[in-house]
Amino acid sequence: MNKEKFMQVLLNKAKESNFKDSEVYLNQSENFEIRLYKGKVDYYEENEEYGIAFRGKDKKMGYSYTEKLDEDIIDVLLNNAKNNAQIMEEDEEEIVGQNDNYEKLKKLTGIYDYNREEKIELLKEIEKNIYKLDEKIKNINYCIYADEKTGERIINSKGLQLNYENDIGYIYISVVAEDKGEVHTAAHYQLFRELNEVNAVDFAKKVVNDAVKKFNSEPVKSGSYKILLKNEVVIDLLSTFSSTFSAENVQKGLSLFKDKLNQNVANSIVNIIDDPFYEKGYRRTPFDSEGAASKYKEVIKDGKLMTYLHNYKTAKKSDVETTGNAYRGSHKSRISISPTNMYIKRGNLSFKELVEKVENGLIIDEVQGLHSGANPVSGDFSLSARGFLIEDKEIKKSVEQITISGNFIQLLKDIMLIGNDFKMGLPGSGHFGSASVVVESLDVSGL
Amino acid sequence: MLTKSVIENILSTALINGGDFAEVFVEDKITNSINLVNGKIDSANTGIDYGIGIRVIKDTNEIYVYTNNDEKDNLLKLAKKAASMFEKIDKDSISLSYGDYKNIHPVKIYPAKVNQSEKVILIKKAYQAADEYDKLITQVVVGLSDYTQNVQIANSNGVFIEDERTRVRMGIHAIATHKGEKQTGYLGPGAHMGYEYFDQINVKNLAEEASRMAVTMINAGFAPQGKMPVIIDNKFGGVIFHEACGHGLEATSVAKDNSVFAGKMGEKIASDIVTAVDDGTIPNAWGSQNFDDEGHKTQRNTLIKDGILKSYMVDFLNGRRLNMKSTGSGRRQSYRYAPTSRMTNTFIESGSLSREEIIRQTENGLYAKQMGGGSVNPATGEFNFNVREGYLIENGEIKKPVRGATLIGKGADILKKIDLVGNNLGVAEGMCGSISGNVPAGVGQPTLRVSELTVGGRGENS
């Protein structure tokens, strides 16, 4: 059965089988990916995929999903959702009709106008430049071009009908540099909507430079250091701990921001924005996964926590309006909460000025182990890290095999300076951005 | 699922332009998950994953396409599209015959035969035990998930198998709160079997164990910083070998010279007391399978024998690159991923010492009783992983608990620094993420000691 027909039949049959309200959600995508190895495309992928999720309210909400669109699956879906609704105990989920205030977003697409040869050529050019730039580059272990067109469609029994499509392209390259038996890697990525946003020379320079500057690294002495966190590290931390802003986690006692609304939770120079309309954000969308209108919001304003991120369910519980942050990773996931495009507002100091202001301390430009060494519930983190030593306002030797430890909640309060080198990271459930920041102190373990 | 003739047709079409190997992977999977929060069932979802992946290889170049749409015309169109990347030559048609099949992972109680309400009873049993353990426990989150995955795997060498993989797993998170701080304890038992698994384990004890961990850690001080001997306990402690060395022994990174262990076959890479194995054949173990996801029978592979590198873990394509045979290690999360070499159940073999003797022989150091997860950069061997439950060792005795410790180092070094190996091999369950997605992986070891590791904590310098 075709997707549209399957969705309509499912919605109609749900009514017949006594679901009071119901919703059918489709996500679909087209992906293209190539990987280059020593001048040749050695991996090529091109796909079309889809999945359909059903949510129906009997007394409680029941969920089910399928990737198989045979007619006889419809009854299976309804039956599974019924069985699941019956065991639900905690559930205030509602199915809501159309809002009338969706933002009209200009469609930002273009990557699908380029043919595959152009994409392959661009990747080959970057690869060639990388090997040319420095003979210490021994290998490129990942050389990936990928793009994706994703679409969401939501229809429900209250007359809601929504569609949205998003395009994204990215290049990800990781290089291995070797000199006298010492091996280092570095990776760089760039997101784009148009191929001409990528400069093959700059891209190559960046990743090569990041790798070769790591030679002659060593640990520093253990202790407390003033720390300059590079923008990408701040993005990693913000993304890992962003679940702290979720009203769902607050209500479940899984967030340290519980009872902290309208209080100072960060230094007064910190402003955190969630902007679903941000043009450089790849979670740009006029509506959330429940069909509520997306909203621009200041989550932390001058250090003060202004709002949690809500969906319909948590908003009802807290007696506020939804902030349009309902999120569904795919047709397989239940409705949860996620930031859209969330970023720390930039300051006005250049990276060089930040280094000078630190005077003595450490630059941390890479951390590893976020999925295990950082605990979003406790806020604690202890991460494998590397960077550079700053002595007398100057960048000195390269540092590796150390860990940095601290607590995210404390870190927000310890942010003393924010730079102007703002960038956005790689999008996941949310898309995060930040400039580099200086924090008062973190514990470092090394020698 | 697809008929044999449709699969044969896809394979021949995929080779029409001169690929030298084609493969079809069909997946039809029923998944189910239920979660409890605050003592109440908070979410439940049941789904059908269904898709077909087609792979065409010429020399060492690989094309992968997948779809959810199983109509014959669509599949042939896709096969043709995949083939179109290669230049045209003529090829004979392909005929398949079923491989011999012996199921070594029997399932007694299929998840689909268990009512959701019976699963709720299991979840609540865990919840109650964890919740009642201590007043400091303020939140318990219990998840129960199961699936039955049916696959067809066929390739142009005539391989054709059908297999079924059923797995069940429970995740128990206990959270202790004290003076505005939170600490978590976690256990995630699972197996390649049906719901009879829960008759074999003691859910109540495991749930109490998760709470015990959280309560111990909320009362713990911060771990010290610096280099010191570290004793890593058995079972999930094996994540150290998995991260620090296992990934570097996967042909995925070896074939393109991106591993510190590339070119080291037959050389001594670990201390003499280290023998390490990857075994996908252990009946009903979490990381086991009858066949890998390329239709190759899983094997028991000795990776390191008495410190000497004996074998990598090899998939079909990287085997070509390395001129090595498959070791039954080709795995993938789903039809959305081309397979590559991955671990199954990976562990260090037992030595002779008891846990107590190892502790007694250690004057000062860190005892890592429960490990969290970790990650590695195979090209440099740099790894990191976190200690979920740690203790200081002073004068050969376990002293106060410490939290927030991360262990970092380089895989090639740590293997040589293992200086004591215990006699209590145990294997635990984890999920392993890599380029072919997330796959169930067993990790294991006996209690062992590493003579020196960098411990990243927040306490006094040691």
Distance from CA of A58 to the nearest CA of B (A): 14
Protein fold of B111-148+165-219? PmbA/TldD fold (3.30.2290)
Distance from CA of B328 to the nearest CA of A (A): 21
With CA atoms as reference, the chain B residue closest to A442 would be: B458
Q: Write the residue in B62, B375, B454 that is nearest to A369 by C-beta.
A: B375
Residue A264 at interface with chain B, using a CB cutoff of 8 Å = no
Q: Write the residue in B48, B66, B226 that is nearest to A66 by C-beta.
A: B48
Closest CA to A251 of A320, A297, A304: A320
Mutate which of B32, B173, B376, B386 to test chain A, going by most A C-beta atoms within 10 A?
A: B386
Average pLDDT of the residues of chain A: 94
The pLDDT of residue A413 is above 80: yes
Distance from CA of B46 to the nearest CA of A (A): 5
Arithmetic mean of pLDDT, B151-166: 95
Residue A186 at interface with chain B, using a CB cutoff of 8 Å = no
One-letter-per-residue 3-state SS of B206-251: HHHHHHHHHHHHHCCEECCEEEEEEEECCHHHHHHHHHHHHHHHEH
With CA atoms as reference, the chain B residue closest to A182 would be: B380
Q: How confident is the model at residue B94 (pLDDT cuts 50, 70, 90)?
A: confident
Contact B94, B15 (CB under 8 A): yes
Arithmetic mean of pLDDT, A210-227: 93
Contact A382 B37 (CB under 8 A): no
Long-range contacts: B198-206, Cβ < 8 Å, 24+? B198/B122, B198/B168, B198/B170, B203/B122, B203/B125, B203/B126, B203/B129, B203/B170, B204/B125, B204/B126, B204/B129, B205/B129, B206/B126, B206/B170, B206/B172
Backbone angles phi, psi at B23, to 5 degrees: -145, 145
Binding-face residues of A in 274-303 toward B, CB within 8 A: none
Q: How confident is the model at residue B372 (pLDDT cuts 50, 70, 90)?
A: confident
Arithmetic mean of pLDDT, A128-145: 95
Q: Write the residue in A45, A331, A384 that is nearest to B406 by C-beta.
A: A384
Q: How confident is the model at residue B98 (pLDDT cuts 50, 70, 90)?
A: confident
Mutate which of B43, B62, B217 to test chain A, going by most A C-beta atoms within 10 A?
A: B43
Structure-token pair, residue B115: 């009512």
Q: What whole-number percentage of chain B has pLDDT above 90?
A: 81
Query: Which pLDDT score is estimated for B316?
Result: 97
Query: Which pLDDT score is estimated for A391?
Result: 97
Contact A44 B85 (CB under 8 A): yes
Across the A/B interface, how many CB contacts are shorter than 8 Å?
235
The pLDDT of residue A49 is above 50: yes
The pLDDT of residue B462 is above 50: no
Residue A241 at interface with chain B, using a CB cutoff of 8 Å = no
Distance from CA of B69 to the nearest CA of A (A): 8
Does 3.30.2290.10 match the CATH number of domain A112-146+165-212?
A: yes
Q: Write the residue in A44, A222, A371 that is nearest to B461 by C-beta.
A: A222
With CA atoms as reference, the chain A residue closest to B371 would be: A372
Question: How far separated are the first and last CA of chain A, in Å rounded?
Answer: 64
With CA atoms as reference, the chain B residue closest to A69 would be: B69
How far apart CA A67 and CA A78 sit, in angstroms, is 15
Q: What whole-number percentage of chain B has pLDDT above 70?
A: 98
B232 beta partners: B368, B448
Domain ranges of chain B: 111-148+165-219, 226-456
Distance from CA of B362 to the nearest CA of A (A): 20
What's the pLDDT tens digit per position in B402-454? 988 889 999 889 999 999 999 999 999 999 999 999 999 999 999 999 999 99
Domain ranges of chain A: 112-146+165-212, 223-445
Q: Write the residue in B49, B260, B458 that is nearest to A443 by C-beta.
A: B458
Contact B404 A382 (CB under 8 A): yes
Q: What whole-number percentage of chain A has pLDDT above 90?
A: 84
The pLDDT of residue A408 is above 60: yes
Contact A222 B41 (CB under 8 A): no
How far apart CA B292 and CA B439 sit, in angstroms, is 11
Binding-face residues of A in 4-33 toward B, CB within 8 A: none
Mutate which of B30, B31, B38, B46 to test chain A, going by most A C-beta atoms within 10 A?
A: B46
Contact A405, B404 (CB under 8 A): yes
> In sequence order, what DSSP letters do the residues of B110-164 get, joined into one string?
-GGGS-HHHHHHHHHHHHHHHHHT-TTEEEEEEEEEEEEEEEEEEETTS-EEEEE
What is the value of pTM for the model shown? 0.92
